[in-house]
Chain A
Amino acid sequence: MQTAISRGFRHTYPPHTRYSRTYSSIPSSSDRGKTAVGVFSPIAAAIFIATGAGLFYYFNSEKESLRKKKEEELATKAYGRPQVGGPFSLLTHENKPFTEKDLLGKWSLIYFGFTNCPDICPEELDKMSGAVTALEKQYGTAIQPVFISVDPPRDTPARIAAYLSEFHPRLIGLTGSYQDTKSVCKTYRVYFSTPPTAKADDDYLVDHSIFFYFMDPNGQFVDAFGKDTSMEDVITRVRKEIGEWEEDGKWKA
């Protein structure tokens, strides 16, 4: 009988040493148990276990192949990353043309603000500049700080140059026409309230988003830092990301 069942077992499912061993222990577990269970005969038990094992194996392998597929997708596409950043065309504080392509190959920290900002912009720029200076010891000039003006009527290249000189020597200031500014802000999901009709000698403030962005050397968004993020938090986050790239062999300091 034992062989018959074993054959039946083998017939339905490929040989599986672990489960035939389990089965072989059933008859020796005494005849009393066999009569007591009634319908639950060793055959039924064997089929039940074998089916369970088969299903278990099937779902496990399906799960595994799904996981592998997902992993492959993740490797090629970064999920959960907001679509921040993209093409733009502006002028630097030295009156040179500058586009998103000029940021490629370097990590960048990008702050949107205006030079007539009473207190938040200078605080955030100090934080960003401090982080860049601290990271320079480890990464040299691999991290590029950028300031993009949301106040084109007043923020001329010369005015931005004078303003930024008090923050970080490598800070690149960018400005452009009202349309260019609107376009870059849209690309980076930044809100700003400068009226299109504002004049250079008007005294007004600009309402705007006050976080700064951390972008990777491919121009992809990594993180955004707000008022509650400390300089140490920024440094830690940048180090972590660059470290991960180094581990993956995508970046060499």
Chain B
Amino acid sequence: MGWFGSNAPEPTAVSREGRQHCWDRRDAYFACLDNAHVLKPGDEGKACATEKAAYEKNCAKSWIEYFNKRRVLAEQQKGVLQQMKNQSSSS
């Protein structure tokens, strides 16, 4: 399961190298989503299939869920902040 030993009988934590691999694949996949103008991971259809496969191979499911959720949340936060900024400048 790539850099993850979570299926091994004696589970070990991800190493520093393993974490970096996962983060790199995540960043590559998210960059692809940005290019395709897709916010929510999974909404891109077949656009980023290669990046997605590498991401899923190198990151644990729980991490993927967390990163995906955070991507959407961060974007919403940006939207709210922008809205607040617009409101304060117009008032």
Interface set of A (CB-CB < 8 Å, partner B): 115-116, 118-119, 122, 154-155, 158-160, 162-163, 166, 200-201, 203-205
Q: Are B61 and A122 in contact (CB under 8 A)?
A: no
> A212 CA to B16 CA in the complex, in Å?
20
A-B contacts, 20 listed (Cβ < 8 Å): A116-B13, A118-B63, A118-B66, A118-B67, A119-B19, A122-B19, A155-B13, A159-B11, A159-B12, A159-B13, A160-B13, A162-B13, A166-B16, A200-B11, A201-B7, A203-B6, A203-B60, A203-B61, A205-B62, A205-B65
Q: Chain B: residues with CB nearer than 8 A to chain A?
A: 6-7, 10-16, 19, 22-23, 60-63, 65-67
Number of A-B contacts (CB under 8 A): 42
**Using Cβ atoms and an 8 Å threshold, which residues of chain A touch B7?**
201
Q: Is the CB of B62 within 8 A of A203?
A: yes
Asked whether, in the complex, the Cβ of B11 is within 8 Å of the Cβ of A154, the reply is yes
Chain A residues, CB < 8 A from B61? 203
Q: Which of A115, A201, A203, A205 interacts with B13 by CB under 8 Å?
A: A115
The one of B6, B15, B65 that contacts A201, using a Cβ cutoff of 8 Å: B6
A200 to B22, alpha carbons, bound, how many Å?
21
Inside 8 A of B63's CB, which chain A residues have their CB? Answer: 118, 205
Cα distance A201–B10 in the bound complex, in angstroms = 8
Contact of A122 (CB < 8 Å), options: B6, B11, B16, B60: B16
On whether A116 and B60 interact (CB within 8 A), knowing A122-B19, A201-B6, the answer reads yes
The 3 A-B pairs of least Cβ separation, nearest first, read A115-B13, A163-B13, A118-B63
